[in-house]
Chain A
């Protein structure tokens, strides 16, 4: 196929949008991100690449809130994320202003996905190089939701999902181990998924928990370390149980 369709987002002869596929590659190189939906809690976790010694880690927030009841984590080009997040925040307030209602999770996901799609069908621009995980509670029914968008502009709802580096391994883990959870169990499930691909330790992952009553809460490093320790203990106990019984004959 001719090289002309690599620089701008037009179709290739065999029906591909190469720029969008390359954007998905950029996402695959981004840091791991996971989202898990529980019955009353939704958890977002993101891999934190080791921060440089002189860098102020507080200025690198990877999980952000878009409104009181909506949060977002993403994998891919962080600079593109800033632009998308800004537009989404404005839309959240604009929606409140025009219809006097907070946005639903689906609405803002559709908005962000629509924005991402626009940039795959415009002249002289490239697609956004990020996939987002959007979580929140419906403002009136209180139902928790988790959505994912990608550079092509498609979106769908998930019970649990992962994006970014090694997302396939995380997703496989979640498919094997997902069950309806609530509260702390949801947090543990999310962290366990993340630990499949990330070096364990509180300083390598960023976790935020969203509940209907308290909104988004970023977990402190110490809290994460405690949960990681719990998970490791459970893993060790499971290993010991596996090895234990055969010796009793």
Chain B
């Protein structure tokens, strides 16, 4: 029931993910951050098997950092996407990772971009993308309302519309979402959309 979706706006890209960590019928936590900062100007939202998700995205993150130390310049978003895809493809017919990834980045020369990388290593450069059961609703919502060069407010508004749809129409909808944005000033958290907050219960 994991939901990850993202879109490209005017000089920025947005990635939204739910924040519940679930094991069968138990919700371990509702504030699990599934959107990793790959480097200063890249976001990697991932969904899939919990172990694979963390292991694989951290592995990609460290390799992106290593590239930067070896070569003195950071990887472009396209290069990072292709590297990620290559790692998934190599493992695919031996020991596959079950991770779906939306990679958003901002490059000085080419601006914002979003890459859809699924668990069998297909890569597509897209303006909007989504994974999981939530994609049925968020993709439909984005198809209806998305325009190119949206402002941050318009894009977040669209993201909120998608979240409302997911919450109302998905049978086991995740309660909380996190929104992250990447633009020329870097990748950072934009905000949370919570319906369930962890409150401290006073000790007996």
Chain A positions within 8 Å of B, measured between CB atoms, are 65-67, 86, 89-90, 92-94, 96-97
Contacts and interface: CB of A to CB of B under 8 A. Distances in A.
A37 to B, nearest CB: 23
B58 A97 contact: yes
A89 B58 contact: no
Contacts, number: 20
A89 B69 contact: yes
Interface string B56-69: 00110011011001
A92 B59 CA distance: 13
Interface string B67-81: 001100000000000
A100 B181 CA distance: 24
B62 A89 contact: no
Interface majority SS on B: helix, strand, loop or mixed? helix
A66 B63 CA distance: 14
Interface size on B, as a range, is under 10
Contact of B59 (A66, A86, A89, A97): A97
A192 B69 CA distance: 30
Contacts of A89: 66, 69-70
A65 B66 CA distance: 11
Of the listed residues B58, B59, B62, B63, the one surrounded by the most CB atoms of chain A closer than 10 A to its CB is B62
A93 B62 contact: yes
Nearest to B66: A93
Interface string B33-66: 0000000000000000000000000110011011
A112 to B, nearest CB: 15
20 contacts: A65-B69, A66-B69, A67-B69, A86-B70, A89-B66, A89-B69, A89-B70, A90-B66, A92-B69, A93-B62, A93-B63, A93-B65, A93-B66, A93-B69, A94-B62, A96-B62, A96-B65, A97-B58, A97-B59, A97-B62
B163 to A, nearest CB: 31
A45 to B, nearest CB: 20
A92 B62 CA distance: 9
A62 to B, nearest CB: 14
Nearest to B72: A61
Given A89-B66, A93-B63, A94-B62, 5 more contacts: A66-B69, A86-B70, A89-B69, A93-B62, A93-B69
